[in-house]
Amino acid sequence: MHIEYLNVEDVEELHDLALAEYGGLPGREKNKLEGILGIPYAGYGDFEKYPSIVEKAAVYLYYLASGHGFIDGNKRTAYLSVFTFLDWNGYDLIVPDDEVYRFIMLIACDKTRPPYNDAVHWIEKYMIKQAED
């Protein structure tokens, strides 16, 4: 199965959209963002650390929200990124707004951050396969 990944330009564009809609300071931590976007590719040989779509989506959500690749708008960018990644790969993410806020706030805070696998389970709960055309 071919997977469409997000690159730096994609995530910067999503970040710009988030700032245009909701405000915030522009700017990014180049090395942090590039490092975060490399995580879904992690592995060696035929081994992938994050082999499934949901695990890769959880990486984007978890590490973009908590890794502070941008000066502002990290949580919004994380959600837009996971939503876009899933869409590009044939899935929708249907989550009530209050639940998006609740879970992303947990991830973003060092004191309340759940383990990565909680992000995997959260996405599994709310993602659905898109209908075939």
Q: For 30-112, where are the alpha helices, taking DSSP H only?
A: 30-38, 53-67, 74-88, 97-108
Residue 85 lies in a domain: yes
In a domain, 72, yes or no: yes
Return the percentage of the chain with pLDDT > 90, whole number.
69
pLDDT in tens, 88-123: 999 999 999 999 999 999 999 989 899 999 999 999
Residue 25 — very low, low, confident or very high, per pLDDT cuts 50/70/90?
low
| Domain with 82 in it | 8-129
- The domain that holds 47 is classified in CATH as 1.20.120.1870
- Residue 128 φ then ψ, to 5°: -135, 150
Domain contains 3: no
In a domain, 97, yes or no: yes
d(CA 89, CA 110): 30
Q: Could you tell me the pTM of the whole model?
A: 0.91
Q: In total, how many domains does the chain have?
A: 1
Whether residue 19 contacts residue 85, with contact meaning beta carbons closer than 8 Å, is answered with: no
- With bands split at pLDDT 50, 70 and 90, how would you rate the model's confidence at 81? very high
Check pLDDT > 80 for residue 1. no
Which one, of 75, 71, 69, lies nearest residue 112 by Cα?
Answer: 75
With respect to residue 1, please indicate whether it lies within any of the assigned structural domains: no
Instruction: Identify whether 2 is part of a domain.
Output: no
CA angle, residues 71, 24, 113, in degrees to nearest 5: 55
User: So what's the pLDDT on residue 107?
Assistant: 95
**Res. 22 pLDDT band, cuts 50 70 90:** confident
Residue 119 is predicted with a pLDDT of 97
> Quick one: angle between helices 116-126 and 97-108, nearest 10?
170
